[in-house]
Amino acid sequence: MSRPKWVPAGTDLDKPNAARVYDYYLGGSHNFAVDREMARKAMELWPELPMIMRANRAFLRRAVQYVAEQGVTRFLDIGSGIPTFGAVHEIAREIAPEARVVYVDRDPVAVAHSRLLLKDDPLSEVVQADMRDTEDLLAHPTVAALMGAGEPVAVLLVAVLHFISDAEDPERIIRLLRAAMPPGSILVLSHAGLEGRPDQAGPHQDLYARTPTPLTMRSKERITGMFDGFDLVDPGVVYFGQWHPENPDAVEPHPERMAGLVGVGRRP
């Protein structure tokens, strides 16, 4: 297989990669045949997966726009994947051209892609770190500089906490992040929900259990509890399409079919 210019040296082109599979769901171009084949197998189990991923990305766009409109210009995107299709820095700078973004991912493939794509962007940086090691993540010089300037920061946990098991304690991760966030900072969160599609929850978790990134879908009550210590922005924790829709009349009659819950909270 020939190596496109955007592919970092040393990348294994014969194995699927979760970040590139997600890029494929979003309609991006940073993926290979092996990634598309993995995505198609998952879609045989759950045909609506591309729509769910795009609904999640649409929420990310609306949330980042909301944050930038509040005057927040610093963003920490944890579990960012490959920032190609509708990336945070692009969305934020439509409103705040001076917006700084630090992308964090533990996947070396996603990090390598990201660094190559952003090498000419002085306001965006990429950090390889695991959010499970939250203290180490916060101590990284790039992250510490972003969080320690005294200005509000938007911490984005978008479609990432469901890859944290109960034993790894996602609430503890959020508590540590909240303690490091200056007053006025904002938490943006999306998470795979149990209630929306109970018929798919079990099979989908079983599918991911066979991968290096097992999935833990959670209840709305549990996800709402993750905002402890934050002031939830209206309308609270809701399904993707219900959070600040661009056209309220266009919200589908069964938003729960997207099976994702989202919310935005401000740190007092």
pLDDT in tens, 64-113: 999 999 999 999 999 998 877 779 999 999 999 999 999 999 888 789 88
User: How many other C-beta atoms lie within 10 A of the C-beta of residue 265?
Assistant: 24
Q: Which residues are registered as beta bridge partners of 114? A: none
Longest Cα–Cα distance of the chain, Å, equals 52
Instruction: For each of the domains in the chain, give its residue range(s) and CATH number, in order of start.
Output: 18-244+256-266 (3.40.50.150)
Rounded CA-CA distance 223/26 in Å is 24
Mean pLDDT rounded to a whole number for the chain: 86
**Structure pTM?**
0.86
Rounded CA-CA distance 96/203 in Å is 42
SS3 call for 172:
helix
pLDDT for the residue numbered 212: 60
pLDDT for the residue numbered 194: 80
Rounded CA-CA distance 205/214 in Å is 7
186-195 confidence digits (pLDDT tens): 999 999 888 7
Amino acid identity at 87: A
* Token digits of residue 126: 């990429």
* Token digits of residue 51: 């729509």
Which residues, 6 or more positions from 167, have their beta carbon under 8 angstroms from its beta carbon?
none
Q: Which residues are registered as beta bridge partners of 102? A: 76, 125
CB 29 within 8 A of CB 4: no
- Kindly tell me if the per-residue pLDDT of 6 is higher than 60: no
- Kindly tell me if the per-residue pLDDT of 4 is higher than 80: no
**pLDDT (mean) for 11-25:** 73
φ and ψ of 232, to 5 deg:
-65, 135
- Kindly tell me if the per-residue pLDDT of 256 is higher than 90: no
174-219 confidence digits (pLDDT tens): 999 999 999 999 999 999 888 766 566 666 566 566 556 677 889 9
